[in-house]
Structures are given as C-alpha cells and as structure tokens.
C-alpha cells in the first residue's frame, strides 16, 4: 500500500521543481508510514520527477524511486510481483533479493512496453526513460492498485490519489455530471472517468506512454479462459491455485492478518492461510471479525466461531452495537475524494482501524469470490438451451432452496425462452391459475429504480439510458452462456471501483488489502470451468466448496444463506440519522435537485418510513445515494468557497 506520484513536463524550458513532487508526497503522508523520497532528472531536455510514499509490505530495503543506468531509467512503483521466480529465470538474474521495482525495470529493458504481459500480481508503476524522453505507466490486470492522472500541453501529472494532482496541476475541480449520473444509477461504466472532468484514471489491464507530443493508451491484456488443458479433478487444481495465491499474498511483512466474516470466501482464505502458518511453524494467523448482536439478521457469530475453533486462528471480535451508517461520513468522503457505491464502508473501516491498532500491515480479504469463482447462474440457461428440462428442474429446485427464488416462476421463464411450444402452453395454463390467486392479494408497494432516482434532464444530458443499456445490462446472447456471462461480470466497471474504494479506506489506517481470489491464473482457470463446476445441486461456487473439503468447517462449506445488509442499513439510517435525512431531502434539497428526482426520492423515503422492515433494495439505494451525493456536494462547495 505505497503511494506513487510523478510529474513530466511536456514543454522544453519548463523544468520540474522538486518542491512540486514534495508537495504531492505531503498530500499522501498517510501512505508513507515507513518513509518517502523523491527523484528529479534535471539533465534531460524534458526531465521528470518521481515520488514514492512507502508502506513496507514486501520487506525491501527502502523507499523508491529506484534508478538504473546512471539515472537514465527510473521507476516509482506500488507493486507486489507474484511470479518473481519465473521473471528472474527469464531475465537470467541470480540475485533473488532484487526489489520488485528493480525487477520491473529489468523487464522493461528486456520487453519494452510489452513487459506488463509478463507480470503477475498487483501493480501500478511509472518508468521514466531518459533516452526515449518518455514515461511508461501500467496498471495491473484487475485494477487493484490505483492510478490517476491529469494531462495538458504543459505537464503530465499522476498519483495514487486525486488530491496530490490537484495540489500542483492547476486543474479545475469541475464536477463530472457523467460520473454523478452513473453513481446515482449504480453504473461505474467509464473505466477512465473520475468525479472531476480534468482528472482521469488509468484503466485496469492498460498501459500509458507519455511523450511531449502524445498520451497513448493501450490495452495489454484481456480476460480470457485459461488455454491450458483442464485436470481431471477441477477441485484439486482449484485448491492448488488458490493455496498458491494465498501464499503469494502473504509474502513480505510478517504483519499479515485476514478478514473473517463467516462467509464462504473469507473463511476459505482464513483457513488456508492459517494452515500455511501452522505448517511453517509461524504464529497463529490473526483474524478480524465484525460481531452483531445474537439473533439479528447480521449475526454470523456461529460461523466465525466454527472457523476460529477448527483452525485455531487468533480471532479478534469487533462488536458492532448501534450501527450508524453516516457516522464519520464527511471524513470518509474526504478519504474517497468523491462518491462511492459501498454503504457498508464505515463497517469495513472499523476492521482496518482495529487491524492497524494490532500492528497489521496486510489484511487478506475475501472480496471477489462471487465474481471470480461464479455462482454459475448462466449454467441454467445452458441446460435449458440443451433441452435438459429434468436436470434444469432439479437445479432450479435446489437453487430455490438456497436463494429463495420461486421455482415455478424461474422454470416458466426458461421454458418461455427455450422450451417447446406444447410445454409452454401447458405451463401457461398453470401459471394463470397461480397468478389469479396472487392478484387477489394486496399489491406490494412499488420500489424506486435508478430511472426514478435520476433527474430526467441529467439522464438526457449524460445519455444515461443508452449507457445503462450498453454497460449495465447483460445482453441476452451473453446471458445464455455461463462462460460469456462470467467474463462479462469479471469485466464490469464495479470491479476496479471497489478496489479503489477499499484502497483509499485502508491507506488511512496503514493497511494494504490483498485479494487472493483476484489472481490471474486462478481467474483464468475459473473462467474455463464448465457450468456444472460452478453451480451444482443449487450450490454456487461449487468447485470452491469441493476444494475446501477437510479445510473448512462443514457448516461454513455448505452454508446456504447469505447475509442481507439492507435491514441493518435501514434501521441504522432511521435510528441514528433521521434528522440528517430530513434535512437533506427538505431544507437542503436544492443542492441535489439538479441531479435527483426529488419527488421520487421523497416517495421512496416515505415508503421506508412507513414499512422499514419491508423496504426494497432500490428504495434504500435511492435514499442512501441521495444523502451521500448531498454531503459530498456540500464538501465541494465549502472547498470552493475557501479556495
């Protein structure tokens, strides 16, 4: 969890001042728990300045930037390379202690701008090439490490956060309506945009080459299934790749802990990491868990206790009492430098705070298990398309037991899409009888949706409906294939957005989150799996469950339920922030009126107030996003008045 920064003049005669890079690093002090340094090339016609805010999580000698060839090559990097042995062998290097940054420069010398294709791990870096008078930048395959930049005719400026760029760029803090409408719709569809029109992000799996005449963006990799032949036992191969991924993410500092929610994903990581510590005769793995009161819908204590008891990890339990989702929210917005799609972030920050206080520097996180391993719902389409109606019925019936969906309704949908006409006609008759009974009951209150939430004028100005159709809605041709739908989910813009949110939150507590599920070989392997390895007998992520046989407690390995955070959020808002919500939607309503549809937001709020236990997810999202947007706009306005 280091921070990187840099400035490259794009006009001769405009030297880079050391004071500028120092000012950028000062804005990232929270990332520099183990020091910071900078380097300036004052000899070249254009020159460059690079800075590094250092959190030592890879057990290296000191902070960067690092140089080679008498300063003709320099790098600043926030990285952890997982295929070091392979790279050392390919490059003919015998010094196994070589820092990751130096290894990156050697890779650049060998393969040039193709070097990211040879890398595995999490990274964001910039290499200044004095001979070419160019800056080469790259971001990892999934966007775990952040990279923001501003480019104009005079300078190119980059950093791990937006604030340091504003500190020296002179770029205006003009808000992006495009980004605001996307936030309200839950649609982070543009991989380059940020909340500010003059600041951009380097997309995941892309590189950037900057010279005095151009800024060239290239994609160096795309998500594809592994081309390697599948082993006969997929669970055994998964266990091998997963264990290797966990081991890679424990490299470096001994101050490694793990989040433990009691769910399948975090429990799998904690158990595998705990076993690896035990086999290496290291101390017990520290784990950190949020504990809600017994009997609440959020209570996962029995599953957490099962993992702690079986693996004998060193469990820290963090009690969550009177949950207040907007507590410290102004501070959180400052950290995030804009809005974000994570209502539970204040709870996650509590884990980072406690882990940091316990001396942790790295925290293993189960985020991404659903996406990487896949719930396998596309397999249902594959069964229907193949005419395997009895197998489809058994799978839907089992899935209904797990997820609570209507068996008959789902089956009818698949028959309508794929089935023979006589089956459709027969089932339609049955469905009509059921519908007649349903219609006699009182109708449930209608929930809002993003179309109701967003101001229609803003939606038109930002082409929101077209954007949502293009990027927020899975095409039918994709839905019909488990492999295609799996890849679509992995490529979704929510993935790097989530990493950036967690990165900024963790950095403020001196923590680096690492994500064993987001490992390139593991992702490629899961994407190549047939549908029945992902969904079987109603259990999604089936290959993971099988792979954890004898490692996970059975109660966790085969648990069917998932925690619904919605009710906790509703009761937290109404119980602790009623005055705030009333103020935002009434006396301060003018602030968000250009962006949201106030009558619809007010109606959603009234429905929540009337029946909080029956609140729909769209209604809750509608109100939460409106409040979050209002508080952020207030911050922006205050900064503008103080400037």
Annotated ligand binding at 100? The verdict is yes
Residue 309 Cα distances to 314, 327, 410, 430, angstroms: 10, 33, 39, 50
Domain spans of the chain, in order of start: 3-219, 566-641
pLDDT per residue as tens digits for the range 94-140? 998 899 999 999 999 999 999 999 999 999 999 999 999 999 999 99
Average of per-residue pLDDT across 578-596: 92
Cα–Cα distance between 161 and 1 in angstroms, integer? Answer: 12
Give the pLDDT band (50/70/90) at residue 390: confident
At residue 520, the pLDDT reads: 97
Average of per-residue pLDDT across 431-453: 56
At residue 561, the pLDDT reads: 77
Pairs from 389-397 (Cβ < 8 Å, separation ≥ 24): 389/415, 389/419, 389/423, 394/537, 395/535, 395/536, 395/537, 395/538, 397/538
Checking DSSP bridges between strand 512-514 and strand 362-364, what pairing results, if any? Answer: parallel
Backbone angles phi, psi at 158, to 5 degrees: -140, 160
At residue 349, the pLDDT reads: 95
Smallest CA-to-CA distance from 364 within 266, 466, 498 is with 266
Q: Tokens 């489809």 — which residue?
A: 392
Residue 438 predicted with pLDDT over 50: no
Checking DSSP bridges between strand 121-129 and strand 134-139, what pairing results, if any? Answer: antiparallel
At residue 478, the pLDDT reads: 86
Cα–Cα distance between 55 and 78 in angstroms, integer? Answer: 9
Name the least confident of 152-161, 167-176, 566-575: 167-176
At residue 422, the pLDDT reads: 43
Cα–Cα distance between 567 and 297 in angstroms, integer? Answer: 8
Residue 418 predicted with pLDDT over 80: no
Cα–Cα distance between 491 and 487 in angstroms, integer? Answer: 6
Cα–Cα distance between 65 and 135 in angstroms, integer? Answer: 14
Cα–Cα distance between 99 and 80 in angstroms, integer? Answer: 10
Cα–Cα distance between 106 and 67 in angstroms, integer? Answer: 11
Cα–Cα distance between 220 and 194 in angstroms, integer? Answer: 22
**Of 252 and 355, the one with more pLDDT:** 355
Name the least confident of 109-113, 396-400, 432-436, 634-638: 432-436
Residue 444 predicted with pLDDT over 50: no
Average of per-residue pLDDT across 299-315: 89
pLDDT per residue as tens digits for the range 485-502? 999 999 989 999 999 999
Exposed/middle/buried for residue 213 (C-beta within 10 Å: 0-12, 13-18, 19+): exposed
Three-state secondary structure string covering 355-410: HHHCCCCEEECCCCHHHHHCCCCHHHHHHHHCCCHHHHHHHHHHHHHHHCCCHHHH
CB 453 within 8 A of CB 185: yes
**Of 43 and 602, the one with more pLDDT:** 602
Cα–Cα distance between 487 and 402 in angstroms, integer? Answer: 24
CB 52 within 8 A of CB 37: yes
pLDDT per residue as tens digits for the range 2-26? 999 999 998 876 667 789 999 999 9
Cα–Cα distance between 244 and 267 in angstroms, integer? Answer: 16
Residue 377 predicted with pLDDT over 80: yes
Contacts of 87 (CB under 8 A, 6+ apart): 81, 93, 103, 106, 107, 118, 119
Average of per-residue pLDDT across 292-318: 86
Q: What is the CA radius of gyration of the chain?
A: 26
**CATH 3.60.20.10 is held by the domain 3-219:** yes
Give the pLDDT band (50/70/90) at residue 442: very low
Contacts of 105 (CB under 8 A, 6+ apart): 66, 68, 73, 75, 127
CB 285 within 8 A of CB 257: yes
Average of per-residue pLDDT across 41-68: 85
Which of 137-146, 230-239, 412-421, 615-624 has the highest average model confidence (pLDDT)? 137-146
Average of per-residue pLDDT across 520-526: 96
Residue 125 Cα distances to 48, 64, 101, 460, angstroms: 14, 11, 8, 38
Report DSSP letters for 151-169, one per residue. Answer: E-SSEEEEESSSHHHHHHH
Average of per-residue pLDDT across 600-618: 92
CB 342 within 8 A of CB 306: no
Give pTM, 2 decimals: 0.92
Contacts of 1 (CB under 8 A, 6+ apart): 31, 55, 57, 78, 361, 503, 506, 507, 510, 511, 512, 513
528-563 burial by CB neighbour count: b if 16+ within 10 A, else e? Answer: bbebbbbbbebbbbbbbbbbbeebbbeebbebeeeb
Give the pLDDT band (50/70/90) at residue 432: low
Indicate the length of the chain as a whole number. Answer: 643
Give the pLDDT band (50/70/90) at residue 643: low
Tell me what the pLDDT averaged over the chain comes to: 89
At residue 398, the pLDDT reads: 78
Percent of the chain with pLDDT over 70: 91
Residue 604 predicted with pLDDT over 70: yes
**Of 449 and 291, the one with more pLDDT:** 291
pLDDT per residue as tens digits for the range 330-343? 999 999 999 999 99
Smallest CA-to-CA distance from 178 within 493, 487, 404, 557 is with 493
Average of per-residue pLDDT across 43-50: 80
**Of 378 and 76, the one with more pLDDT:** 76
Three-state secondary structure string covering 130-152: CCCCEEEEEECCCCCCCCEEEEC
Q: Is 51 helix (H, G, I), strand (E, B) or coil?
A: strand
pLDDT per residue as tens digits for the range 531-555? 999 999 889 999 999 999 999 999 9
At residue 188, the pLDDT reads: 86
At residue 445, the pLDDT reads: 46
């Amino acid at each position: 969890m280091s921070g990187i920064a840099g400035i490259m003049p794009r006009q001769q005669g405009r030297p880079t001042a050391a004071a500028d890079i120092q000012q950028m690093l000062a804005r990232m002090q929270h990332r520099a728990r183990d020091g910071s340094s900078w380097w300036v090339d004052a000899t070249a016609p254009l020159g460059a300045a690079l800075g590094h805010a250092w959190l030592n999580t890879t057990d290296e000698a000191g902070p960067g930037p690092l140089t080679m060839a008498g300063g003709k090559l320099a790098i600043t990097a926030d990285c952890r390379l997982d295929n070091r042995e392979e790279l050392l062998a390919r490059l003919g290097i015998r010094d196994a202690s070589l820092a990751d940054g130096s290894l990156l420069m050697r890779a650049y010398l060998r393969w040039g701008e193709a070097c990211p294709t040879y890398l595995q791990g999490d990274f964001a870096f910039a290499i200044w090439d004095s001979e070419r008078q160019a800056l080469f930048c790259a971001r990892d395959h999934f966007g775990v490490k952040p990279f923001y930049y501003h480019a104009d005719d005079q300078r190119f400026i980059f950093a791990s956060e937006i604030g340091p760029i504003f500190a020296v760029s002179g770029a205006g803090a003009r808000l992006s309506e495009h980004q605001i409408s996307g936030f309200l719709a839950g649609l982070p569809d543009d991989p380059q945009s940020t909340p500010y029109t003059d600041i951009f992000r380097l997309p995941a799996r892309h590189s950037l080459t900057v010279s005095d005449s151009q800024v060239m963006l290239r994609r160096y990799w795309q998500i594809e299934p592994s081309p390697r032949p599948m082993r006969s036992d997929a669970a055994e191969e998964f266990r091998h790749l997963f264990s290797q991924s966990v081991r890679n993410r424990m490299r470096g500092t001994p101050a490694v802990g793990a989040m433990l929610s009691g769910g399948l994903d975090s429990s799998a990581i904690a158990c595998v990491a705990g076993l690896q510590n035990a086999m290496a005769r290291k101390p017990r793995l520290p784990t950190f868990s949020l504990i809600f009161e017994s009997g609440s819908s959020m209570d996962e204590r029995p599953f957490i206790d099962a993992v702690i008891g079986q693996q004998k990890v060193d469990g820290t339990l963090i009690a969550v009492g009177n949950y207040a989702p907007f507590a410290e929210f102004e501070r959180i917005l400052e950290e995030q430098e804009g809005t974000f799609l994570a209502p539970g972030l204040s709870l996650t920050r509590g884990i980072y705070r406690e882990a940091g206080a316990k001396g942790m520097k790295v925290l293993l996180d189960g985020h991404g298990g659903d996406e990487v391993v896949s719930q396998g719902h596309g397999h249902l389409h594959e069964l229907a398309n193949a005419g395997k109606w009895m197998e489809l019925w058994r799978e839907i019936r089992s899935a209904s037991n797990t997820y609570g969906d209507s068996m008959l309704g789902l089956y009818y949908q698949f028959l309508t899409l794929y089935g023979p006409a006589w089956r459709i006609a027969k089932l339609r008759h049955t469905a009509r009888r059921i519908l007649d009974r349903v219609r006699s009951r009182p109708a449930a209150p209608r929930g809002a949706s993003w179309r109701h939430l967003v101001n229609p004028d803003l939606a038109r100005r930002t082409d929101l409906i077209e954007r949502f159709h293009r990027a927020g809605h899975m095409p039918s041709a994709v839905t019909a294939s488990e492999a295609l739908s799996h890849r679509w989910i992995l490529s979704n813009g929510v993935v790097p957005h989530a990493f950036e949110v967690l990165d900024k939150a963790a950095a403020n507590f001196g923590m680096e989150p690492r994500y064993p599920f987001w490992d390139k070989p593991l992702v490629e392997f899961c994407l190549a799996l047939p549908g029945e390895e992902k969904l079987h007998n109603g259990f999604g992520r089936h290959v993971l469950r099988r792979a954890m046989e004898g490692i996970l407690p059975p109660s966790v390995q085969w648990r069917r339920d998932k925690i619904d955070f919605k009710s906790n959020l509703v009761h937290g808002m109404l119980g602790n922030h009623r005055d705030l919500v009333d103020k935002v939607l009434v006396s301060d309503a003018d602030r968000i009126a250009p962006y949201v549809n106030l009558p619809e937001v007010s109606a959603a709020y009234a429905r929540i107030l009337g029946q909080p236990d029956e609140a729909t997810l769209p209604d809750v999202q509608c109100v939460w996003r409106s409040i979050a947007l209002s508080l952020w706009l207030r911050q922006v306005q205050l900064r503008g008045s103080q400037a």
